[in-house]
Amino acid sequence: MARILGIDPGLTRCGIGVIDVDARRRVSLVHVEVVRSSADAELGDRIRVIGEGIERALDAHAPDRVALERVFAQHNVSTVMATAQISGVVLYQAAKRRLPVALHTPSEVKAAVTGYGSADKPQVGVMVQRILGLAEQPRPADATDALALAICAAWKSPVAAAASEAAAERRGLLAARASGSETLTPAQRAWADAERRSRGR
């Protein structure tokens, strides 16, 4: 079992989502929250507030690794700057704890979770809810995005894949491949599992 903390960086709202992933890449919710800072506060104070929230989550949940949205160019320079500032805080806090950080673009996350790199936020929210077996979608969207980042890291990490494969072999779970189930992507398997649960099977 591995624990991943996903962070959707933002200066006003910073999404934090924590999941556990087992040897078969099945994921479960541990914690989700959104840390907020006031737009009227000084920049340093805002970064401090968000940074303290991130630090609390790292200490409280002791993840094995961190998933962070990769900063990329946008038309809104202020948004890029705010994201970069909080991303720096995350990288610093992770480095202090010797935690590996996986950087993922929004399109990577959407493709991993929904199977479609241009999916919209409602589609991502629906899939995060289904994959984690939640009664409702986490709100606001920053919380869902943080969980989606963590799920993406759980399913895309080469290290995680190798560890999962080895653990599955040890437990004799690779027999599922004989039935062809392993040809499905993690997102497709999650859809299938959710459908079976909804039918009470």
**Which residue positions form the known binding site?**
8, 69, 142
Phi, psi of 171 (to 5 degrees): -95, 5
* C-alpha–C-alpha distance, residues 94 and 120, integer Å: 29
Q: Please name which of 116, 106, 111 lies closest in space to residue 141, comparing C-alpha atoms.
A: 106
- List active site positions: 8, 69, 142
* Peptide bond preceding 138 in cis form (omega within 30 of 0): no
* C-alpha–C-alpha distance, residues 166 and 156, integer Å: 16
**Binding site for Mg(2+): what residues are annotated?**
8, 69, 142
Please report, for residues 62, 73, 86, 92, the alpha-carbon distance to residue 98 in angstroms, rounded to integers and kept in the order given.
12, 28, 18, 10
* Full strand arrangement of the beta sheet holding 13-21: 27-36, 13-21, 2-8, 65-69, 101-104
The identity of residue 157, as a single letter, is S
